[in-house]
A and B are shown apart, each in its own frame.
Chain A
């Protein structure tokens, strides 16, 4: 009997240890996964806060006519911005209306916008810092203008985009008055510029 008793206790101990080990392992996996998600969230936040930056070149702000404004914007951060993310860029324009009064307007990105019939902005040029054309991740952002589809490419660090804003005739501008431009990226990196 004494021999059987030892075997029986050993069997019970084994049957107890196996589920305990499994449950401990399972709980550790759950905890590790939860920590992994947390670290990933923190990383993404740090990247988005530190790596994105944008600058409007104030000297290039120019009213082409009373319904069209152009300016160059530099990606002064350290991360490329995919063209598909341009729709997340906020462009706010504050200007004097030609009929009098001030207009404060958020302009939507629309690469296929129809000039004269709607208010929108799109990209009409790309260059690198020294003015030469871009080489890597070439941008084809405005199918409506370049007859290229779908939109592709990346706005790389150091590259400048020529943004052109189109207004409708009813919202036409007094081109001699002060114009304020706010540009904000998807990450929240924001730039304010004043043109005369």
Chain B
């Protein structure tokens, strides 16, 4: 399966011999526990701090300096809370549903390109894999809402499933222009092509960020962001939990650690959405206008990993901040507006983007805007 288990391979070579599947399992474990869970926990703190800033409050400030350990306190609270199952709930599905959500959101981390050498697995169907595993979230929400035996929950769950299934289409259609440009579904290759080359024979290989590849891609990136917001049930598209109409929507009846799992799944999904946007459109681990492979000195691999990891995290976390920003800026849509926007707005627009990118690739022989402007005479 291509260059799969990249991270596992490098771990095997660093630490010594051992069967590869042990290292593959260990790397999956490490990525989920070192990236997904801390991010999910810490994001709750950041979200509250950001919300406080926007509303001119102080926010959590009791646990640790600037309240930075608040998420640990929250975790302890959630674990020690009473494990409450409502009367008449369907116990099996009630237990299963939050797990499906977390499973779907966390599995996607395996294919995220944190750096050129730090990646769970560079699958040759990477983009498809991320799209596929995140669909597990929809059954999780629907089953959780039905099993808690509450009408508000059921309404929220039905809304949520309809919304996720519908917005899957603009998400996929907005990813396709990138696949068209790169000619591959492998995330590592897609990111690698978005580098920058000042001059030389390699200009033809690098076409800078896909965001600036052509005008249609520029639009497609914004469509992907909007559709991704809806896909992850964030404000202004959080109809499934709409606290002013549906109490708390699909997770009304969930308390303690099960609610924690839902929250964790949601934050992990937001991170995955932003990371996919970063990897596909914003150049992933690349530093703008700088190519680490073409410097006057050769950096050791560890430095490159750290720099690329920092770059990727900065881009992704900035997008996450924008997501939190939108939460306190935009009002929630109505259900009919939401569906109308998807089917009458985003789907036709993303089809136009796809067609436009195809025409661009045909007319300019696959060269990007940056290559046309700066690369003439080289390659």
Q: Do the two chains belong together in a single complex?
A: no
